[in-house]
Amino acid sequence: MKTELEIRKALRDWIVKTNGKIRPENLTDETPIIEQRIISSLQVMDLLLFLEQLTGKSVDVEKLKPGIFQNVNTLYENFFRKESYVY
């Protein structure tokens, strides 16, 4: 079981690797990843697969609300909190 810090780091690492251009020090948990086009809407499918792999749970895509992919904070809050509604 990963700690919160480990999960947040894993998310940032995935974003840096997927983007391929952004430097790790330029990505914080507040950086708007969709708005700044660090992650494209087409890459969200890969992000969902990565999130499912990390959580071990299947995401109910129909329950996803806009804003959920805003930044690392929103990803953590929506996919890793115990009371998450997305599964």
Contact residues for other proteins, defined by CB under 8 A = 34, 40-46, 48-49, 52-53, 58-62, 64, 66, 69
The CB-of-72 to other proteins minimum distance in angstroms stands at 17
The CB-of-26 to other proteins minimum distance in angstroms stands at 21
Q: Are 79 and 52 in contact (CB under 8 A)?
A: no
Closer CB to other proteins, 30 or 60, in the complex: 60
Closer CB to other proteins, 33 or 72, in the complex: 33
Closer CB to other proteins, 37 or 81, in the complex: 37
Residue 84 has which token pair?
């998450």
The CB-of-14 to other proteins minimum distance in angstroms stands at 12
Longest dimension (CA), the chain: 34
Q: Are 29 and 73 in contact (CB under 8 A)?
A: yes
CA 12 – CA 18 distance, rounded (Å)? 10
